[in-house]
Amino acid sequence: MSDSSSPFTLLARSSQCAARRGELRTAHGTVQTPVFMPVGTQATVKGVTPENLRDLGAEIILSNTYHLYVRPGHELIKKLGGLHRFMNWPGPILTDSGGFQLFSLRQLAKISEDGAAFKSHIDGSALFLSPESAMEVQEALGADIMMCLDSCIPYPAAYHEAEAATALSGRWAARCQTTRDRAARYGNGQLLFGIIQGGMYPDLRRRSLETLLGIGFDGYALGGLSVGEPEELMDEICEFTAAKVPQNSARYLMGVGTPRNLVAAVYRGIDMFDCVMPTRNARNGMLFTSAGRLAIRNARYYDDPRPLDEACACYTCRNYSRSYLRHLYQAREILAAQLMTIHNLSYYTGLMAQMRQAIEEDRFLDFYRDFDKVDSC
């Protein structure tokens, strides 16, 4: 990709740290960064409608190549008009490549130079995902942003293992780009991001990025973080790696994280995030608030008439008390998941909006320093 064709535009930079404000153009709209992408694993963000997502300020969502490939199948979704139409979400969609799911299911997967042979977690049937088929699946889904198939590395991993997996990811990335170049002739407008691997070894991270830059992608993701390593190590690798990605490219930290992780990563120059935490925690009754985390099952909320977060203007906080939400949660009502998911995602999108504003006003360093003091999330 030449610089002029980059879908990412840098709008502002902090004068005191690496934080940056930008926008990313996709076939289904422009996304303001830094951005958090709610996770819609199986073509739905669990517990909310597309209108809920729009209303709570989500601009882009993530869905999972692996899961949709296994069920209901990408050919079906293509036949039904693509993922946007299938799930009724008109905005941008990023699909991960399936690499992380293969890593999670590695007991069931066999990795070779060609790709990954694995058994469906649904019915045990034999399946195969290669760099080429990962592209085919994501093209069929119609993702605005596709991700290269990568080979993830556990933590901890020996150097030679990390080196081999990183090199394999590099060769797979080249095959993804070749496959995509063929498809792009049809002008489908899909972007393709490379994934920087290298585990916790800075020189492997550097080598991985150099390989990817040599191929050329529309954006660069940091993969293989938040896999069990200490937070300080994650921050270190993130800082080291992000700084080496060209300023005119979007940087996406995959699968991260807590609100604190997000603030720490924006500080280090990250533009994009996804994580199941806000949605999964919501279903488990763990809420993010400006006063810290709140476990709704706690008896103290039995008769608490206040909203989850008095500083929050989301649908849930405007209309429902902690007492009612606790009742719904205790009674295992579906509405508990719906309302608490809306709140947690609103917290995340609100946090990103605050960070974008702080960068625009060049006071992000203060925001970063204050965050720990006022917010224990």
Pairing of strands 39-40, 35-37: unpaired
* Residue 88 or 284 having the CB closest to a copy of itself: 88
- Which CB atom, from 119 or from 260, has the smaller least distance to a copy of itself? 119
Query: In angstroms, what is the minimal distance from the CB of 11 to a copy of itself?
Result: 34
Is 375 one of the annotated active-site residues of the chain?
Answer: no
Q: Which helix (H) or strand (E) holds 219?
A: strand 219-222
- Are the C-beta atoms of 115 and 133 separated by less than 8 Å? yes
CB of 330 to a copy of itself, least distance (A): 7
Rounded Cα gap, residues 144 and 189, in angstroms = 7
Member of 54, 79, 110, 300 binding a copy of itself (CB under 8 A): 79
**Torsion angle defined by CA atoms of residues 358, 375, 58 and 16, in that order, rounded to the nearest 10 degrees:** 30
Number of residues interacting with a copy of itself: please give it, by CB under 8 A: 35
226 vs 338, beta carbon nearer a copy of itself: 338
User: Is residue 338 helix, strand or coil?
Assistant: helix
List phi, psi (to 5°) of 135: -70, -45
| Member of 11, 16, 80, 372 binding a copy of itself (CB under 8 A) | 80
Q: Compute the least distance from the CB of residue 329 to a copy of itself, in Å.
A: 11
Catalytic residue status for 218: no
Q: Fill in the per-residue mask, 53 to 72: x = in contact with a copy of itself (CB under 8 A), - = not in contact.
A: ------------------xx
- What does the alpha-carbon distance between residue 274 and residue 362 come to, in Å, rounded to a whole number? 25
Nearer of residues 135 and 339 to a copy of itself, judged by Cβ: 339
Find the Cα–Cα–Cα–Cα dihedral 279, 283, 286, 290, rounded to 10°: 50
Terminal CA-CA length for the chain = 39
| Exposed e or buried b per residue across 261-284, where buried means at least 16 C-beta atoms within 10 angstroms of its C-beta | bbbbbbbbbbbbbbbebbbebbbe
Q: How far is the CB of 285 from a copy of itself (least distance, A)?
A: 15
Of 150, 218, 271, 274, the active-site residue reads 274
- Ramachandran region, residue 262 (left: φ > 0; alpha: ψ -120 to 50; beta: rest): alpha
Cβ–Cβ < 8 Å for 175, 201: no
State the minimum distance, in angstroms, from the CB of residue 258 to a copy of itself.
Answer: 23
Shorter beta-carbon distance to a copy of itself: residue 114 or 333:
333
319-338 residues near a copy of itself, rule: CB under 8 A: 319-321, 323-324, 326-328, 330-331, 333-335, 337-338
Contact mark string toward a copy of itself, 16..45, x via CB under 8 A: --------------------------xxx-
Q: Which is nearer to a copy of itself, 88 or 112 (CB)?
A: 88
Cα-to-chain-centroid distance, residue 16: 26
Q: Applying CB under 8 A, which residues contact a copy of itself? A: 42-44, 46-49, 71-72, 76, 79-81, 86-88, 302-303, 305, 319-321, 323-324, 326-328, 330-331, 333-335, 337-339
Residues with active-site annotation: 96, 274
